[in-house]
Amino acid sequence: MPDFSIFSLAGKTALVTGGNSGIGLGIARGFVKAGARVLISGRNEEKSAAALAALRAIGGANAAQWLATDLADTDSIPAFFSAAAAALGGVDILVNSAGITYRSRADQMPLAEYERVLRVNLTAPYVLSQCFARARIAAGLPGSIILIASLMSEASRPTTSAYTASKGGIRQLVRALAVDWAPFDIRVNGIGPGFIRTPMNQVLMDNPEFDAWVKRRTPLSRWGLPEDFEGVAVFLASDAARFVTGQIVYVDGGWLATF
């Protein structure tokens, strides 16, 4: 019989930002199924309560916790990380999944909105990753960081200049952090979603023409689902990926493989 214990996250702890919905919740579900205890963050208490109930239904009452945070307030992130680490008894795995967007033609983009998107999508993951790495290095412990990239890390569409800039930055940040922290056995990888059925994409899903275009353009002929991220996240966080760092795995239904 094959030994799949290398994929186990039993005894591990994970902090998943944006873990109360969408891709973040899909990743948190995968972690709980693999045996980890997770702490999810998000601003919406109602969504977070529903996510906690779902995670605890899988892994039991101790499987999941929630902390509220506003990642746009980057000055508050070190205190947030310290609280999360205290609640979990240390953080073995960090997933930077929270993200926002603002749609506007580039010449009409309010600078404040552009800066807010970059602050949440790029600066906040950088600060959280710093906090995580400092704690792991000080303790002499390995770690795994996962950042969420995008198809917009490789290309762009109209009205997405802020989001595209943030996700292009994530692609390079994965590489930069992987190189800096490899000597400490802290692995840094990314996951690049295609078009996924999440609340952020609701306006696109509700557009019949766009919905049909996504299905035509994607070789697997459908939108992705949050549960499509369970396996790849568990792989990247586990010892099965112990020699994998600085990589982005695209979960896009074949989108980038064709034109």
Six token digits for residue 11: 């005894």
Please give the Cα distance from 178 to 133 (Å, whole number). 11
Write the single-letter amino acid at 181.
W
pTM > 0.85: yes or no:
yes
Query: What is the pLDDT at residue 35?
Result: 98
User: Averaged over 233-256, what is the pLDDT?
Assistant: 98
Q: For residue 205, is pLDDT > 60?
A: yes
Tokens of 77: 């992130």
pLDDT tens figures, 31-41: 999 999 999 99
Domains in the chain (CATH in brackets) are 8-257 (3.40.50.720)
Residue 203 has a pLDDT of 85
CB 63, CB 32: distance < 8 Å:
yes
Q: DSSP string of the chain?
A: ----GGG--TT-EEEEETTTSHHHHHHHHHHHHTT-EEEEEES-HHHHHHHHHHHHHHH-TTSEEEEE--TT-GGGHHHHHHHHHHHHTS-SEEEE-------B-GGG--HHHHHHHHIIIIIHHHHHHHHHHHHHHHHT--EEEEEE--GGGT---TTBHHHHHHHHHHHHHHHHHHHHHGGGTEEEEEEEE-SB-SGGGHHHHT-HHHHHHHHHHSTT-S-B-GGGGHHHHHHHHSGGGTT--S-EEEESTTGGG--
Strand 186-193 to 143-148 pairing = parallel
Over residues 69-94, the mean pLDDT reads 97
Residue 181: count of CB within 10 angstroms of its CB: 21
Average of per-residue pLDDT across 106-133: 98
- Asked if 102 is an active-site residue, the reply is no
pLDDT more than 90, % of the chain:
94
Arithmetic mean of pLDDT, 232-245: 98
**pLDDT per position as a tens digit, 139-150:** 999 999 999 999
b/e per residue, 37-46, with b = 16+ CB within 10 A?
bbbbbbeeee
Confidence band, pLDDT 50/70/90 cuts, at residue 2: low
Q: Which of 102, 114, 126, 163 is catalytic?
A: 163
Does the pLDDT of residue 158 top 90, yes or no? yes
Residue 237's pLDDT band (boundaries 50, 70, 90)?
very high
Alpha-carbon separation of residue 242 from 103, 245, 250 (angstroms): 38, 8, 19
Average pLDDT, the chain: 96
Contact 34, 240 (CB under 8 A): no
